[in-house]
Amino acid sequence: MFEIIRPQSASLSQEQVTGIQELTSRFSKIKGGLLPCLHAVQRLCNNWLPMEALQLVARGMKVPYPYLYGVLSFYTMFSTQPRGKYIIRLCESPPCHIMGADDLVEVLKAELGVGVGETTPDGLFTLEHTACLGVCEVAPAMQINEVVHGHLSADKIKAILADYRAGKAPNYQELRRTTNELSAYPASPDELVTLRNVDQIDPMSLDDYLARGGYEGLKKALTMTDEEVVNVVKDSGLRGRGGAGFPTGLKWSFTRPVPIFPKYIICNADEGEPGTIKDRYIMEGDPHRVLEGMAIGGYAVGANFGYIYCRGEYYLSIYRLQNAIDQAVAKNLLGDNIMGTGFSFHIQIQPGGGSYVCGEETALIESIQGQRGNPRVKPPFPGQVGVWYKPTIVNNVESWASVPDIIVKGADWFKAKGTEDSKGTKIFQVVGHVNSPGLVEANMGLPLASLINQIGKGCREGKKIKAVQPGGAACGFITPEHLDTPLEYAAMAKVQGAVGSGTNLVMDETTCIIDVVKCLLYFFQHESCGFCLPCRRGTRVLYEMVCKIIDGKGAEADLERMLVLAKAMVDSANCALGWSPYSFLKTTMERFREEWLAHVAGKCPLGVCKPNSHH
Partner 1 sequence: MVNLTIDGRAIQAKKGQTILEVARDNGIYIPYLCYHKALKPIASCRICVVEVKPGPPRPQPACSTYVTEGMEVVTTSERLDVIRRELVKLVLINHALDCPICDKGGECELQNLTHALGIDRVDYEAQVLTPHIDYESSLIERHPDRCVTCGRCIRICRDRVGAMAIHFMNRGYYTELGSGVLPLDCEFCGSCIEICPVGALINKVFKYQARAWELEKTETVCPFCGGGCTYQVQTRDGRILRVANQDSILLCGRGRFGFPVVHSEDRLTTPLIKENGSFRPASWGEALDLVAQRFQEIMAEAGPGAIYGVGSPRATNESNYLFQKFFREVLKTNNLDNPGRYHFVRGMAGLMAVFGVSQVDGLAAPAARVPAYHSPYEVTEGATGSGLMFVLGKLADLPQADVALVVGADVTTELPPLGWALMKARENENFQLIVANPRATKFDRYAALSLQYKPGAERLLMGGLFKAIFAAQPDIAPVINAAGLEEFKESFKKFSLKEYATKAGVDEGQLKTAAELLLKAQAPAIIFGTELLGQDKGQENATALADLFLLVGKPGNPGSGVYMAAEKANTLGLLVVGVLPDRLPGFIPIDKDPGLNLEQMLEALETGHDNAPQALYALGGDLVRWLPNRSRTEKLLKKLKFIVVQDAFLTDTAKLADVILPVAIHVEQEGTFFSSDSKLGLLRKALPENGVRPDWQIIMELANRLGGAFKYVKPAQIFQELAAQLPVCAGLAPGHCFPAPGLTAKLSGQFVPFEQDISLPGRRPYTLIVGKSLQHSGSYTTHQPCGTLMVTPGARLKMNPEDAVALNLGAGETAKIISSHGEITASVSLDADLPPGVVLLPDHFGEPAANRLTLNSNLVRVTIQKM
Residues of this chain that bind partner 1 (CB under 8 A): 1-4, 6-7, 54, 59, 62-71, 73-74, 355, 372, 377, 389, 525-534, 536-541, 544-545, 548, 561, 564-565, 568, 570-574
Which of 29, 168 has the CB closer to partner 1? 29
Could you tell me if 162 and 86 are in contact, meaning their C-beta atoms sit under 8 angstroms apart? no
Whole-angstrom distance, CA of residue 31 vs CA of residue 389: 13
Could you tell me if 284 and 291 are in contact, meaning their C-beta atoms sit under 8 angstroms apart? no
- Alpha carbon dihedral 27, 328, 293, 192, in 10-degree steps, equals -130
The reply to whether omega before 140 is within 30° of 0 (cis) is yes
Whole-angstrom distance, CA of residue 535 vs CA of residue 513: 22
CB of 526 to partner 1, least distance (A): 6
CB of 54 to partner 1, least distance (A): 8
Which of 363, 397 has the CB closer to partner 1? 363
Contacts of 507 (CB under 8 A, 6+ apart): 98, 432, 433, 465, 466, 467, 468, 469, 513, 516
Whole-angstrom distance, CA of residue 251 vs CA of residue 392: 10
CB of 545 to partner 1, least distance (A): 8
Whole-angstrom distance, CA of residue 394 vs CA of residue 360: 10
Q: What phi, psi does 567 have (nearest 5°)?
A: -70, -40
Which of 451, 520 has the CB closer to partner 1? 520
Report DSSP state, residue 200: T
Which of 131, 507 has the CB closer to partner 1? 131
CB of 208 to partner 1, least distance (A): 42
CB of 76 to partner 1, least distance (A): 9
Which of 128, 292 has the CB closer to partner 1? 128
Could you tell me if 322 and 283 are in contact, meaning their C-beta atoms sit under 8 angstroms apart? no
CB of 570 to partner 1, least distance (A): 7
Which of 477, 579 has the CB closer to partner 1? 579
Which of 8, 205 has the CB closer to partner 1? 8
CB of 373 to partner 1, least distance (A): 8
Which of 71, 324 has the CB closer to partner 1? 71
Parallel, antiparallel, or unpaired for β 263-269 and 392-396? Answer: parallel
The reply to whether omega before 262 is within 30° of 0 (cis) is yes
The reply to whether omega before 486 is within 30° of 0 (cis) is no
CB of 352 to partner 1, least distance (A): 14
CB of 561 to partner 1, least distance (A): 7
Which of 24, 450 has the CB closer to partner 1? 24
Which of 227, 571 has the CB closer to partner 1? 571
Which of 74, 164 has the CB closer to partner 1? 74
CB of 89 to partner 1, least distance (A): 17
CA nearest 238: which of 347, 446, 396, 428? 396
Whole-angstrom distance, CA of residue 391 vs CA of residue 256: 9
- CA end-to-end distance (rounded Å), the chain: 17
Please, is 412 exposed, middle or buried when counting C-beta atoms within 10 Å of its C-beta (0-12, 13-18, 19+)? exposed
CB of 508 to partner 1, least distance (A): 31
Could you tell me if 512 and 608 are in contact, meaning their C-beta atoms sit under 8 angstroms apart? yes
**Taken in order 354, 355, 360, 362, is the CA torsion positive or negative?**
negative
DSSP structure string for 362-427: HHHHHHHTTS--PPPPSSSPTTTS-GGGS-EEEEEHHHHHHHHHHHHH-HHHHHTSB-SSSBSEEE
Which of 82, 213 has the CB closer to partner 1? 82
CB of 250 to partner 1, least distance (A): 17
